[in-house]
Chain A
């Protein structure tokens, strides 16, 4: 792809993405539930691993 083709393709893509009607599910952020699962789950795993594996 030369520079001219690249510019045209980039502009085409940006125009599509900036269209108010463009709806991409990837724009939806992780939910509060996702973050809760992440924090609580990882805290439990780390705590269990620490208690089990910490050298006595």
Chain B
């Protein structure tokens, strides 16, 4: 997310919804790969790996991590990166063709508010737990996992992140250049320590921490968590891809960064959790590295979490500002960013709810993101045959070919709802109670298929006959005729 750290929105297409010009495309294959690796090696990768260790042992975890992440990352990259790169389109501007002008605004407001609450809350609690472990490790105190120190430090992390963001996100851009390589070094160091202190056979024989009775269910839940972590990139990666030079440069680096690097960090997390018997990364550092190196590692984890919170909220704030258009540009930056940080302040008062149940959060992410990914995939590849009309993305409702009813495409929303219900019927994200079919299908993949099928059918049977959405040339309407003369809405 460091890649998005740039000055306030100006004439630069990278910080607004303006389409990107050829000369502004600055990332080739290797530069986008490095951005991807930097994104992937983050503290949440350790948390994800530790979570998978709850259900399966090392060998199964490695395989499930690979399968889940690979499928999730491919679907996300194909769906978001290729159209954004092809047209230089900001992802949520492109999504107007799917959800409608008002529909995408609703989506952005709801999605980024919830995502900021969830991810910022989790990262802040990890900061708090790291602080408590530092104090415990250096003073011999025994501050509890969900005690006052953890909550206080988590609140401090949110306030400091907000101040950093208000003062100027550019100032921490250089910090990310230290944090990403530092986390990569820490990942390798942890792997070396784990392999030095434990034989390969011991690692492979380590028992999962909290499995269900059925090995098949544990296996598929591990794959499902991998899918959820892969799908979680849906919110941001398309916007990064729009400044790549070619569609190849936009696509393949995701498999090196978001897939491969994530898998490495996740597997290190899994091995650490299995050998130390705890899925919380903040409890691993001192046992693995001793007090001095362990405390240094915890300080680094806390620092990395701060920068992730700033970068993530910066991206979210910009997305909301873009989505709200003219109205969004009138909201002051401190107020906008404070509004996005605020929900996390509630989350940190209950550290055990989200942080200790990270798998619940990932399952909900999968429930939402698999359906969002599917509806975009179906719309762009199957219904629009990879063709978007750039000017119409910016025309007012009623003029643009991407007009629906009141700016909302009901087909897209109904399809997402159908996908979410499908997911829920196969796997309850809160309890992880699953239907018998789940162990053969996962929940995300059927949700993806159902969402796509519903959107395709509703569009063919209802939206196109009604002349909405610009799916056929006949429905183009006034968009092309009035191009350049209408008053735009953004």
Contact = CB atoms under 8 A, between A and B. Distances in A.
B18 A13 contact: yes
A28 B246 CA distance: 7
Interface string A8-47: 0111011111100011111111100010001000100110
Contacts of A10: 18-19, 394, 488
Contact of A3 (B70, B71, B218, B326): B326
A14 B67 contact: no
A17 B390 contact: yes
A54 B215 CA distance: 9
A12 to B, nearest CB: 9
Interface residues of A, number: 35
Contacts, number: 106
B336 to A, nearest CB: 16
A9 B39 CA distance: 31
A30 B247 contact: yes
- Name the residue in B62, B63, B244 with the highest tally of chain A Cβ atoms < 10 Å from its Cβ: B63
A10 B244 CA distance: 20
A54 B394 contact: no
B202 interface: no
A41 to B, nearest CB: 9
B16 interface: yes
B67 A50 contact: yes
**Interface SS of chain B: helix, strand, loop or mixed?**
helix
B146 interface: no
Interface stretch (B81-89, B278-286, B337-345, B412-420): B81-89
B215 A6 contact: no
A6 B59 contact: no
**Interface SS of chain A: helix, strand, loop or mixed?**
helix
B56 A55 contact: yes
B400 to A, nearest CB: 13
Contact of A30 (B22, B56, B82): B82
A34 B248 contact: yes
Contacts of B251: 30, 34
Contact of A14 (B60, B61, B484): B484
B215 A17 contact: no
Nearest to A38: B74
Interface stretch (B7-15, B288-296, B448-456): B7-15
A5 B9 CA distance: 12
Interface string B179-221: 0000000000000000000000000000000000001101100
B394 A26 contact: no
A33 to B, nearest CB: 10
B329 A16 contact: no
A27 B219 CA distance: 41
Contacts of A53: 59-64, 66-67, 219
A18 B391 contact: yes
A27 B25 CA distance: 12
Interface string B157-195: 000000000000000000000000000000000000000
A5 B490 CA distance: 12
A55 B11 CA distance: 55
B325 to A, nearest CB: 9
29 contacts: A6-B18, A13-B13, A14-B19, A14-B394, A15-B484, A25-B22, A25-B246, A26-B22, A26-B85, A26-B247, A29-B86, A29-B386, A34-B248, A42-B71, A42-B74, A45-B70, A46-B66, A46-B70, A46-B71, A49-B64, A50-B63, A52-B63, A53-B59, A53-B67, A54-B60, A54-B219, A55-B56, A55-B60, A55-B215
**Complex A-B, nearest 4 residue pairs according to Cβ-Cβ distance, in ascending order:** A53-B63, A49-B63, A55-B215, A49-B66
Interface of A: 1-3, 5-7, 9-11, 13-18, 22-30, 34, 38, 42, 45-46, 49-50, 52-55
Given A6-B16, A13-B21, A26-B245, 11 more contacts: A6-B18, A18-B390, A18-B391, A26-B25, A26-B86, A30-B247, A49-B62, A49-B64, A53-B66, A53-B67, A55-B56
